[in-house]
Structures are given as C-alpha cells and as structure tokens.
Amino acid sequence: MTDHAPQFAATALPETAPPAASRVEHGPAPFAALDLGTNNCRLLMAAPTSSGFRVVDSFSRIVRLGEGLANTGRLAEPAMERAAAALRACADKLARRQVRRLEAVATEACRRAENGPAFLARITAETGLRLRVISAREEAELAMESCAPLLEAGDRRALLFDIGGGSTEIAWIRVPADGVPELIGYVSLPLGVVTLAERAGNSCFTEHGFFEVVDEVAAYLARFDQVHRIGQEIRAGGVRLMGTSGTVTTLAGVAMALPRYRRPLVDGKTLDCEAADLALGDLFALGREGLAAHPCVGPERVEFVLPGCAVYAAIRRVWPTPRLTVADRGLREGMLTRMIRAERGGRRRAR
C-alpha cells in the first residue's frame, strides 16, 4: 500500500465568473492553482475576498494521464499528449491574465510513473509551467483545508475520503472545539476509478464483480480502522463523514434528482446515507447506456462511476454513519486558501 494523504483547506464557496478576454482587468490580480491528476487536469483562478475568494476563471478536462500505468509503470504516449494539450490550454489562459501567484502540482500518476519526471520536464519546456509532484501527506492536508469550512459545531472528528483516479485517500481528522482541524492519520489505497476500471473492466457492471471490488477495498479500510478505532468513535457520536470526488458528487446529484449537475446545490450538502445508498442502487441498475445518458454522468465518465461507487460502498460497510457531507472542492481550493493566507500573513508581519 502506498502512503498517501488527503488534503484539507478552509475556503469560502467559490462563485464562477466568465473568463476575461485580455489582460485588462478590474480589481486585484488573481491567484491560480493547477492540479494534474491521474484522470483530470484542472485550473482555478480566484481573487481574494474578505471571506475567502471569488473564482474568476476555471478549466477542467478529463485527460486519463494514468491510463495503462498500473500495468506498465510508465505514462503512455497518448495519455501524455492528452495531458500536454490540456496543460497548453491552461498556459494560454494564464498568459491572458496578470496572475499574482501560481501553484501547479501533480499527484498520483506522476508520483508512480517511471517517466513522470521526464514528462514534467517536457511540459516545462513546451509551456513554461513548472509542476511540483506533491506527497501523499500534502495532498491530504490540502483536501482537509478545503473541506474544513463544512465542519459544524458538535463535530469531534471527521473522516474525509477522496476517490481519485489512481488512488483513494482517507483522512482521519481531530476537530478541536476552539482550534483548526488536525490530521490524526491518513492512508492512500492504490485503488482509484481509473485503475479499477482498467482492471475490473466490465465486471463492475455485474453484481459479482462489483462486490469483489467492495470486498477488496473494505479489507484495506479495516486495517486502517484497527489502528485508529474509527468505528468505535463513530458509535460514540460526533464524527462527520465527508466525501470529495466525482463519485460522491454524482451520488448527490442522483439522490437530489437534479435535472443536470449544479455545483452550488451539491457542494456542502449533507445527505442521509440511506438516500445516497439508494442513488448508488439506481446508478447500478442503469447499466452502461443508461449511465451515458444520465445528466449527472455522461459518456466520458461511464467507465468510472461504478468502480467509484464500489469504493464508496466499502467505506459505508466499514464505517456506517447516518449522514454524508458532500464536497465539490479539493486540491485547487486548498492551494488557493494557502496562498491567500500566506500573503495576508506576510502583510501582517510587515506591519
């Protein structure tokens, strides 16, 4: 099992604004956060506000950078070209704005790939972008920061999970009554929606194949539970289950019967876990064609939804809780929060 950590960041809810057409802008220059993952390439640009930040531009594209990585240990040429094309688009967006600071990171695929360093060097040569490969622990801490505002009075602990493309991160968090959340423990499972989709293939569309994945993931989680006694803490009360990934946001969209996915309605929503479980059953029953046609899924994500649902089902099996808080936020929001906080801290020290 590879060590990986979830990331946490405290942020205000972003609002989306149309991209600027040129460098001529009103207001302060934005911060920018770029996240190259196993499945997606995402960019977020935001201007600081009194309560957090306001999003002024964004970009997201499925690139499947980790395609085939589990079998070969290397990034495949077509996957690298897809990611490079997305990163060129990000570089073009950044060139049209006066950005005050950029943080660009790469995660699981580039951590694991033998040719990851060479690929990132190529990206720097082609685009000028310098992506930093972050550790599992930093990834966990950034996710924690981004989701911290969703905690409420009465929460003693939080269990945060992020079902990614190449891995699944679990973070176990202490929530002091009068302080900032603290990461108690974390684990990264070498199982994500891309790796599971490649390995399990069509079997996740069958009941037998689906529950084979659930059993495998649950075995990993049970070992983490033995160390931290999370189930015991859940029974004592005051533990919030939080999920941030396409899997849980899709489950929320289905449970809420949204005619199309809308982030403002989903981010921060707390669902009864029974409703999320029913949504999982609905998705499984749709089959491949039904998933492709579903407004909260679509053809690009058909292969990944049920593997992600199997990971979620394993989490529910090992850690049954009555409610699930859904977060449509992650590393980019965490990076933006850190940059804004660092700048404000520097100003206070200067004064």
- Cα–Cα distance for residue pair 294/351, rounded to 1 Å: 54
Interhelix angle 302-318/207-228, nearest 10 degrees: 40
Element (DSSP H or E) covering residue 32: strand 31-36
Sign of CA dihedral 226, 228, 233, 238: negative
Residue 219, C-beta contacts closer than 8 angstroms, at least 6 positions apart: none
Looking at residue 201, its pLDDT comes to 75
* DSSP code per residue over 255-305: HTT-SS--HHHHTT-EEEHHHHHHHHHHHHHHHHHHHHH-TTT-GGGHHHH
Q: What is the pTM of this model?
A: 0.86
**Residue 20 in this model has a pLDDT that exceeds 80:** no
Residue 101: CB atoms within 10 A of its CB come to 15
- Note the Cα 16 to chain centre separation in Å: 18
**Residue 339 in this model has a pLDDT that exceeds 90:** yes
The CATH classification of domain 31-135, taken from the options 3.40.605.10, 3.30.420.40, 3.30.365.10, 3.30.1660.40: 3.30.420.40
Element (DSSP H or E) covering residue 210: helix 207-228
- Cα–Cα distance for residue pair 11/333, rounded to 1 Å: 7
**Residue 131 in this model has a pLDDT that exceeds 50:** yes
Q: Is 344 exposed, middle or buried (0-12, 13-18, 19+ CB in 10 A)?
A: exposed
CATH number corresponding to 137-326: 3.30.420.150
**Residue 136 in this model has a pLDDT that exceeds 80:** yes
Question: 227-242, pLDDT tens digit by residue?
Answer: 999 999 999 999 999 9
- Cα–Cα distance for residue pair 92/46, rounded to 1 Å: 16
183, amino acid identity: L
For residues 242 and 327, the answer to whether their CB atoms sit within 8 Å is: yes
Rounded CA Rg of the chain: 20
Looking at residue 52, its pLDDT comes to 83
Among 17-21, 263-267, 323-327, the least confident range: 17-21
Q: Give the dihedral of Cα atoms 287, 168, 233, 210; nearest 10 deg.
A: 30
Residue 97, C-beta contacts closer than 8 angstroms, at least 6 positions apart: 20, 23, 25, 29, 30, 32, 45, 57
Question: 320-338, pLDDT tens digit by residue?
Answer: 999 999 999 989 999 999 9
- Cα–Cα distance for residue pair 141/120, rounded to 1 Å: 23
**Residue 10 in this model has a pLDDT that exceeds 60:** no
Q: Within the chain, which residue ranges are assigned CATH 3.30.420.40? A: 31-135
Residue 203: CB atoms within 10 A of its CB come to 16
For residues 171 and 144, the answer to whether their CB atoms sit within 8 Å is: yes
Between the alpha carbon of residue 210 and those of residues 203, 206, 257, 303, the distances in Å are 7, 6, 24, 13
102, amino acid identity: L
What is the average pLDDT across 294-311?
Answer: 94
HEC assignment per residue over 49-115? ECCEEEEEEEEEEECCCCCCHHHHCCCCHHHHHHHHHHHHHHHHHHHCCCCCEEEEEECHHHHHCCC
323, amino acid identity: R
Task: Identify the band that residue 27 occupies on the pLDDT scale cut at 50, 70 and 90.
Answer: low
Q: Within the chain, which residue ranges are assigned CATH 3.30.420.150? A: 137-326
